[in-house]
Amino acid sequence: MMMTNFLSHIRRAGLTARPALVLALLCLVFLSSFVSAQTGKRSRVSDSILGVRIGTSLEDARKKLEKLSVPNDHPTAKEEDNDEPGTKQVWILKGTNYSSVALKTNEKGRVVWVTGFVRPNEELPFTELGDTSVAMRATDSQAIWNVANSNGGYRLVAKGQNGRARVIYLLSLATPAN
């Protein structure tokens, strides 16, 4: 409403006011981007699957996921035998959009990747996971975001059909210390 009134005053003022209109609009654009930067308002990209983030301890991940999992008599944790130390673990879930979640920890017991498998007919729109306009790649079947943070960052990958995620991956982008 205020902008409409402003524009109608400019139109009544004639051609000499047009440079003022351009200058005013440029100032508004500059100020809005400045305010967004100052308030820390950025495009949000999901950083967790059911509360499990890159860097979460295995103990915290277990606490979160065991509440959501079906009772299982078979152990799902597996220590890695190869050159990459750590543990892989899988939870079969109930009462969530995810049918299962798998993760891997490093030698310090911190999550380095987590994968969520979404139940059929409950696929999540890519746009719920992040702003696809800032994605590194966004197609009808896949969206990929690289997000920098103080821990080296993470990659969010969503795969599915028709812009809806069936499988969601969070992967650490941190370089291991040698």
Q: What is the mean pLDDT of each run of 10 residues along the chain (178 residues)?
A: 47 52 35 34 82 96 94 57 79 96 96 97 97 96 95 95 98 77
Co-location of 78 and 32 in the same domain: no
**Which stretches of the chain are DSSP H helices?**
2-13, 18-38, 58-66, 126-129
Co-location of 101 and 140 in the same domain: yes
Co-location of 82 and 164 in the same domain: yes
Domains: count for the chain: 2
Check residue 57 and give left, alpha or beta (phi > 0: left; psi -120 to 50: alpha).
beta
CA dihedral angle for residue 79, residue 80, residue 81, residue 85, rounded to 10 degrees: -110
Co-location of 29 and 106 in the same domain: no
* C-alpha distances out from residue 59 to 22, 89, 133, Å: 57, 12, 35
Radius of gyration of the chain from its Cα atoms, rounded to whole angstroms: 23
Q: Which helix (H) or strand (E) holds 145?
A: strand 142-147
Q: Given this model, what pLDDT does residue 76 score?
A: 56
Residue 46 counted as domain residue: no
Co-location of 19 and 76 in the same domain: no
Q: What are phi and psi of 67, to 5 degrees?
A: -65, -30
Which of 74, 26, 35, 68 lies closest to 51, judged by CA? 68
Residue 139 counted as domain residue: yes
Q: Given this model, what pLDDT does residue 41 score?
A: 45
Residue 26 counted as domain residue: yes
Q: Given this model, what pLDDT does residue 44 score?
A: 87
Range of the domain at 28: 2-38
Residue 165 counted as domain residue: yes
Residue 43 counted as domain residue: no
